[in-house]
Structure 1
């Protein structure tokens, strides 16, 4: 097998179609089919079931697919490292950050990093922690900010911050004057929450499962600004990191009776290649957080 065949194999597996894969790869479909047949011949196993209108991986193809991803990622890592040694690129950092931290914790750090390393390129992706974890594993991100719980064994982490999760209401809400809030009282209210995949939604879902509670979810969104506006206008309450309310004077933070402390970490692939730019970013954040 060769790298070109593996790239073709991955594309067909992702699109489940020779026609769509050929279009994406900008090659003729017959040439793609021939390359896949050569790959199957080289491994001595069928990789695709072509009996249906939609192409599906065989069991053998499913076994090969993660290996193919890793092989191509290793090749990309090697190319990046060799290019750095030749001095052919200035460097790029691809980092994934959840919405709350991206809005309130990271801006000054990112600007400070850019000031210190003006020739490095920063690509910042906002997403939920589940999506960030998966993008790290898939090699789409170099570094990601994730919840410290349930970290895959293939990721390396370093502690970033610990922050309290609090209930958040408007100043005019009937609960705004309470000193602390029970989970039962919180879940009796109309709620606005991030969609599944964000760490504060993971916390909410876990509490609901543990206590067999069905929450009153009036709004779900991945837009932090929308959540803040909905709470500000009294349509619902939510739960956010306490740091958010430090910057939002129109919102009231209410600690839970059972304190909720979330540990947040920076993560990267344990056996992946970290460029000089990536290492500079990790070092800078650790020193200035």
Structure 2
């Protein structure tokens, strides 16, 4: 019993006519009649009562119809799943994300994802939150990992991922390292080592500067997180980091909470009007489960 014979059988049962079934399936009627005849011979049962003008199922035909519909339904489900799996073998996922997230959470996420889906290609663009939003709009990335806030675009679909504290990061032995908390305005005169424009870290400093009507003492700007950490640990200046960035570091860097405390919510977003590929959907599901 092959699937094509079952398909012909179900279509004849649905339409009540060999002719209509042939028209629907774009198959010559003699071919359909021959297939059904072979099916009846194979089962040694009569499936259709042909004594009337309209074709009707026999009791045996009605019993087979239940199974045939279930079988064909499962075959269709399997076909779709196999198509999706073939797509995953060729899929590419383009991701934009901030350096702080990319350097600490992301390597392990990529490692585990690639174990599960080794054929998928992942490319990463490191950029600040504001730049990630632009990359999404220009369709240069499929998924953007960024800090959620008022800058979020209405045409972006968003899934919250995690909440993390932003802290002042100082070298060990710095006079302010003994404080339990610091106001943003208090650190404006300190030598600051920051990311370049487009990063929320820098935006926090600039907002505090405007509020205090005092220019920030920015002594060095870079988009290299490792360089910022190195300069701060050597006493070149201080910075703002998500707490997770120095969570597992040695004692050369000291985190101090802000007053009032600042918590950033990170999320994944993509364009609502852009098709999200199966590969990207798979990555998003994996990311949600991971975090």
Common fold: TM-score over 0.5: yes
Partner of residue 111, structure 1: 111
Partner of residue 168, structure 1: 169
Are 1:194 and 2:195 counterparts? yes
Partner of residue 64, structure 1: none
Partner of residue 234, structure 2: 233
CA distance in 2, matches of 1:168, 1:147: 19
5+ residue gaps in structure 2? 1-82
Are 1:101 and 2:86 counterparts? no
Deviation of the 1:100 alpha carbon: 0.5
Equivalent residues, number: 207
Deviation of the 1:247 alpha carbon: 2.4
Deviations 1:26-56 (A, max 9, x none): xxxxxxxxxxxxxxxxxxxxxxxxxxxxxxx
CA distance in 2, matches of 1:207, 1:226: 24
TM-score, normalised relative to structure 1: 0.68
CA distance in 1, matches of 2:163, 2:104: 14
Partner of residue 182, structure 1: 183
Are 1:223 and 2:209 counterparts? no
Deviation of the 1:178 alpha carbon: 1.4
1:210–1:189 Cα change, 3 Å: same
Deviation of the 1:210 alpha carbon: 2.6
TM-score, normalised relative to structure 2: 0.68
After the TM superposition, which residues 133-148 of structure 1 pair with which residues of structure 2 at under 5 Å, given as runs?
133-148=133-148
CA distance in 2, matches of 1:181, 1:163: 17
1:138–1:94 Cα change, 3 Å: same
Contact 2:144 2:270 in 1 (8 A): yes
Which has the higher Rg, Structure 1 or Structure 2? 2
After the TM superposition, which residues 38-53 of structure 1 pair with which residues of structure 2 at under 5 Å, given as runs?
none
Contact 1:172 1:234 in 2 (8 A): no
RMSD over equivalenced CA pairs, Å = 1.8
Deviations 1:172-212 (A, max 9, x none): 21211111112232112111110010121122222222332
CA distance in 2, matches of 1:227, 1:280: 34
Partner of residue 130, structure 1: 130
Partner of residue 76, structure 1: none
After the TM superposition, which residues 210-289 of structure 1 pair with which residues of structure 2 at under 5 Å, given as runs?
210-249=211-250, 250-289=252-291
Are 1:152 and 2:153 counterparts? yes
